[in-house]
Chain A
Amino acid sequence: MKFGIMVNTGPYTHQAAHTAYQFTRAALASGHEIYRVFFYHDGVHNASRLTVPPQDENNLIQQWSDLADAHNLDLVVCVAAAQRRGLLDAETAARHGKDAHNLAPGFRISGLGQLVEAGIEADRLLVFGD
């Protein structure tokens, strides 16, 4: 089956963010296809490469980056939700005159149309939120 995944909560506060990752990994391991993972609302914080959790905790951001690298996943962060919350790629940071950018490897920033497209193209769109 071809799944679309929507992640609406940030890491470490809500289990949903972690469950979304675990579902995605399990689906891939079972031979399913992940059409796209779309990060919205506070879910954009799952893409911050400046995240530094304690060493005895999972680094969810690194896990997403690794999973994207291993499976050529399309990890899309909503541009409007990201900019509201200070999650910027290099291009956006330059455009807004910011001195830093923090988008983790394997993620890209794009628009809400990517979510709608995932709904259209995937067999199932799963929403992970609170």
Chain B
Amino acid sequence: MPSSPPTKRFLCVNRKAPHGTGYAAEALEAVLMTAAFDQRLSLAFLDDGVYQLVQGQDTSDIGLKHFSATFKALGDFDVRTVYVDVESLEARGLTPSDLLPLHYEDEADDWAVKDLIQWVTRAQLAEIMDAQDVVLSF
């Protein structure tokens, strides 16, 4: 892995449902690789992408790999922010309690367990995207 700067702000934008296409699973592979490069990495879930974080998924009857448990490890990969678009959530009849609880341990705060998810509006997401160096859109 390259050890020298520059460090850039990467945002992985997830817009598609978890299993209707292969995008979500392969996007997660790209996220884990980006994390390995020590970049400033965050994720955003919007549109049907919010379904990726829904709890209690079971893929055993559709012949596809169950990957959503990997989201719980994002904190261990130094991901510090997962943005979820509340308007996408509401439009699909979902509430925050339907989603996986995602946490990280804050090294700078005596390893306090903190929420990884930030609930944002579409307007806020536009500002967040504008502030990135690299936006990987899936």
B137 at the interface (CB under 8 A from A): yes
By a CB distance below 8 angstroms, the chain B residues around A67 are none
Asked if A120 contacts B37 (CB within 8 A), the reply is yes
A80 at the interface (CB under 8 A from B): yes
Q: A-facing mask of B37-79, CB < 8 A → 1, else 0?
A: 1010000000000000000000000000000000000000000
Q: B-facing mask of A89-117, CB < 8 A → 1, else 0?
A: 00000000000000000000001110111
**In the complex, what distance in Å separates the CA atom of A111 from the CA atom of B10?**
18
Asked if A119 contacts B8 (CB within 8 A), the reply is yes
By a CB distance below 8 angstroms, the chain A residues around B135 are 125, 127
Most buried by A among B6, B29, B33, B133: B33
Whole-angstrom distance from the CB of A13 to the nearest CB of chain B?
Answer: 13
Q: B-facing mask of A16-40, CB < 8 A → 1, else 0?
A: 0000000000000000000000001
**In the complex, what distance in Å separates the CA atom of A112 from the CA atom of B37?**
11
A86 at the interface (CB under 8 A from B): no
By a CB distance below 8 angstroms, the chain B residues around A116 are 10, 30, 33-34, 36-37, 39
Is the interface on chain B under 10, 10 to 19, 20 to 34, or 35 or more residues?
20 to 34
By a CB distance below 8 angstroms, the chain B residues around A81 are 26
Whole-angstrom distance from the CB of B104 to the nearest CB of chain A?
Answer: 21
Asked if B136 contacts A41 (CB within 8 A), the reply is no
- CB nearest to B37 among chain A residues: A116
By a CB distance below 8 angstroms, the chain B residues around A113 are 1, 33, 36-37
Whole-angstrom distance from the CB of B106 to the nearest CB of chain A?
Answer: 25
Asked if A120 contacts B39 (CB within 8 A), the reply is yes
**In the complex, what distance in Å separates the CA atom of A111 from the CA atom of B71?**
21
Asked if B30 contacts A40 (CB within 8 A), the reply is yes
Beyond A6-B136, A113-B36, A125-B134, whether A120 also contacts B26 by CB under 8 A is: no
Most buried by A among B6, B22, B30: B30
- CB nearest to A120 among chain B residues: B8
Asked if A120 contacts B136 (CB within 8 A), the reply is no
**In the complex, what distance in Å separates the CA atom of A8 from the CA atom of B30?**
12
Whole-angstrom distance from the CB of B26 to the nearest CB of chain A?
Answer: 6
Asked if A129 contacts B138 (CB within 8 A), the reply is yes
Asked if A127 contacts B136 (CB within 8 A), the reply is yes
Across the A-B interface, the 6 shortest Cβ-Cβ residue pairs: A112-B33, A119-B134, A116-B37, A127-B137, A116-B34, A125-B134
A-B contact pairs, 5 of them (CB 8 A): A41-B26, A115-B136, A120-B37, A125-B134, A127-B136
